Amino acid sequence: MLELYYAPETCALATHIALEDAGADYRLHRVDFGKGEQRSADFLAVNPKGRVPALATARGILTETPAMLAFLAQSYPDAGLAPLDDPFAFARLQAFNSYLCATLHVAHAHRMRGHRWADEPEAIAAMQRKVPEAVGACWAYVEDEAFAGPFVMGAAYTIADPYLFTLAQWMEGDGVDPARFPKVAAHRAMMGERESVRAALRAEAG
């Protein structure tokens, strides 16, 4: 059985949805950030990075959302969550997920985690003011260049879709108006109707 370590309203939701999509047998472990459990010895033994998500498998722990999503797509090929028979298409999918992880998510993190990059309050405040512009530029790239529609990669649903949906939940908090990006907004609404998404959201709200 797979075990997902998560916290609500984090990028762990993407892996949670993919577990549902895959029909995987899994168990959830909630990490309470309010109590600082991500810094506890027990959790650091799972993920020394002190972050979620982490996915416990029979072969060990996986971290980083793109890696976990690819693992699920490859471990449950019958779910059809990635073009596993087409190396170029699979690489394009991985490139999209890597952009979300390494660029869009990092731009978002400057809003509440500026202490990772600076100590001076004025520097942190400057980062926060920049977030709507920086994150908005990322969404413009997704909308104009990277989104095929109706799903991220085109006609087929893939592991890119729960990841995009998860990060799109943060747009308003980042000072970005979803109306500026109608393709992304339509995708977010469509994803919200999927049972796998609803199931994951229900579980994390409980």
**Which CATH number goes with the domain that contains 23?**
3.40.30.10
Task: Give the per-residue pLDDT at 21.
Answer: 98
Whether 26 and 52 share a structural domain: yes
pTM: 0.97
Task: Give the per-residue pLDDT at 128.
Answer: 95
Task: Give the per-residue pLDDT at 34.
Answer: 93
Backbone dihedral angles phi then psi of residue 7, each to the nearest 5 degrees: -135, 145
Task: Give the per-residue pLDDT at 114.
Answer: 85
Q: Which residues of the chain have pLDDT under 70?
A: none
Instruction: Supply the range of the domain harboring residue 107.
Output: 87-194
- Determine contact, residues 103/138, Cβ cutoff 8 Å: yes
Whether 26 and 121 share a structural domain: no
- For the chain, how many structural domains are there in total? 2
Among candidates 72, 76, 95, 88, which has minimal Cα distance to 159? Answer: 72
